[in-house]
Amino acid sequence: MRASTENVNSCGIYFKIASRLVDRCPVEIVMALPSSGNSVSFSKVRCRGSVVRIEPDGKGARVAVVFDNYEFLRRLPAPA
């Protein structure tokens, strides 16, 4: 399932998704974040948490997730 991130920090994420999720359901999110504030390399991060807010819109929903934990998986080269 793909999503469009609107805001992310160490506590959670807010994103737009075409499908629906259930409030309080557990989720696992894997994403690539720029390493050390540059665009030369990226770190892959796995985050686990639960849905705390769902805002339906005409094409899906905006969803807020609070992270319970996260782990860095590996460093990736920057996309070409």
Question: ∠4-42-77 over CA atoms, to 5°?
Answer: 120
Structure tokens, 17: 């998704």
CA–CA separation, 72 and 42 (whole Å): 11
Average pLDDT for 9-31: 92
Q: Mean pLDDT, the chain, as a whole number?
A: 86
Residue 6 carries which side chain, given as an amino acid letter? E
pLDDT by residue (tens digit) across 51-75? 999 999 888 899 999 999 999 887 6
CA–CA separation, 7 and 43 (whole Å): 17
Q: What is the pLDDT of residue 55?
A: 94
Helix (H, G, I), strand (E, B) or coil at 2: coil
Answer for the pair 3, 59: CB distance below 8 angstroms, yes or no. Answer: no
Q: Identify the residue with better confidence: 14 or 36.
A: 14
Q: Where are the domains of the chain?
A: 3-77
pLDDT above 70: residue 39: no
